[in-house]
Amino acid sequence: MKRVVIALAFFFSITSLVAQQKEKPKLVVGIVVDQMRQEYLYRFAPKFGEGGFKRLMNDGFMLKNAHYNYVPTYTGPGHASIYSGSTPAIHGIIGNDWFDKQLKKTVNCVEDSKYKPVGSEEGNGDVAPSRLLTTTITDELKLSTQQKGKVISLSIKDRGAVLPGGHLPDGVYWYDGKSGKFITSDYYRVALPEWMNTFNALNLADQYLSREWKTIFPINQYTESGPDDSPYEGKLKGKEKPVFPYDLKTLRAANGNFDLICATPFGDDLLTEVAKASIDGESLGKDDVTDFLAISYSCPDLIGHAMGPNSIELEDAYLRLDKNLDDLLKKLDKTIGSGQYTVFLTADHAVAENAQYLKDNSIPGDYFKLATVEAGLNEFLQKQFPGKKIIDKIGNDQVFINQDAFGNEPKTAGLDLLIATELISKYLLATPGVAQVYSEATLRQSNYEEKGIKGMVTRGFNSKRSGDIAFVLEPGWMTWGGTTGSTHGSAYTYDTHVPVVFFGFGIKKGSTSNYHTITDIAPTLSVLLKIKFPNGCTGQPISELLD
């Protein structure tokens, strides 16, 4: 009788374990495309295949009206917000770089001098998630599974890998432009895993850079984009015009050698190959505990910055990325099993039109020349504060005031700071291109849930790290170094409206035009995985997708 009871108990425990596992995907794959508009899913659709973007859209659930709900819309804050379900006001990643008020110098969002590169001595390996103040969905998966669930994060950019990986990953790897290999830092591990050494030994970057970049389709079929020879596009060194084809073997020496791959679609090819290698090398999705693979495609951003959103180069990059997604999904079908994994795809920000293109077509827009504005502002302040350096730094549309300039007497210093803040605000408001100006005191007292532009600035403003004054440019204006290419960072829909598509296990087919914020992704995954929300999460689960 005792043996029967034991056998039944064992049977029911196994049955329970299998039932629990069936309630969760074997693997979650998070895909972030650096600098992607929602519009690209529609504009480039005629040339997409059936197995990439279209498969995700047709067989998954798409948010047609998903936006970032804060500024600045940059890569570092974007990745941190996607994975934390929060905004810079809470997770602390207020830019790709920012002026540190205590150190009195500019710091990078994933820089940490305590750590060294692993995989290349010359690589950018002084990297860690130290400045990220909250947990991520990947951290919460590790905590929930007693760290049994694996987390692997990959990108061309270090920040695109570090921030999604969170604080507890099993591996975080990014591309090193000096060696052409993927590296990590000793925050994560003291040596590369054998599968990564094997992958690096293939020297794929060198192979990609020994070929020619030409369009997939005949170039006259790229009717979704502007002319190939456009005055609004930047040129690679060694090219007389920004036109196809690009002989990479000839151009690489003058364009950073291995770095050049980042400005071509072949960097996405390389990332897809290392992602596939990681699935096998780490045995992802092979046990009874959910794993997580984070992939961030950086090359569309670098191409978009250089060439702009209407270039054939950018369209061709997205058509090639479509093939990469097809390849990756087929790998997941074969290795994990169709319907056994969950994918989400989104972007860390969108992108503005080229400001010169707008001007030439009689649409409001222009360039905000930061150096000129800063010089004029400093000259203006000298009239009230002769001989004093009032401004430490202007960056990320924020003014950092030198608090040491006002002395140690509280009453006098406080009054002078108020005067300086008011003077700077008035000056900026009178400057062409500036739409709004907000002081630190105003933002600190604002409601986090406030709507409109002020609410977006508030959610992007961290009182300990951000500046003393924030300003917002007019629509179509940008802080940019020239009249070619484009950039991003604003509170306007051309920078905030990004794709969000869920696909696979636990996801029903469909779409919604309801407004959702990017911070809704992480809590949606938490509900799907039956784990805690990230500890700074402000988003809400997407009920249309789950219920």
Residue 5 DSSP SS3: helix
Distance CA 497, CA 518 (A): 9
Which residue out of 15, 73, 75, 496 is catalytically annotated? 75
Kindly report the backbone phi and psi dihedral angles of residue 507, in degrees, each rounded to the nearest multiple of 5, phi listed first: -115, 125
Could you please report the per-residue DSSP string of 113-169?
Answer: TT--EES-TTSS--B-STT--S--HHHHHHHHTTT-S-EEEEESSHHHHHHHH-SS-
Closest CA to 82 of 172, 169, 182, 166: 166
Kindly report the backbone phi and psi dihedral angles of residue 502, in degrees, each rounded to the nearest multiple of 5, phi listed first: -110, 150
Could you please report the per-residue DSSP string of 311-333?
Answer: -HHHHHHHHHHHHHHHHHHHHHI
Torsion, CA 84, CA 55, CA 172, CA 254, rounded to 10: -120
Could you please report the per-residue DSSP string of 17-74?
Answer: HHHHHHTS-SEEEEEEETT--THHHHHTGGG--TTTHHHHHHHSEEETTEE--SS---
Distance CA 542, CA 524 (A): 6
Question: Would you give the DSSP letter of residue 534?
Answer: P
Helix ranges, 308-409 (H):
312-332, 355-360, 370-382
Distance CA 182, CA 213 (A): 22
Look up 75 and say whether it is catalytic.
yes
Structure tokens at 466: 């951000």
Place of tokens 């997770």: 91
Q: Which residues are catalytic?
A: 75
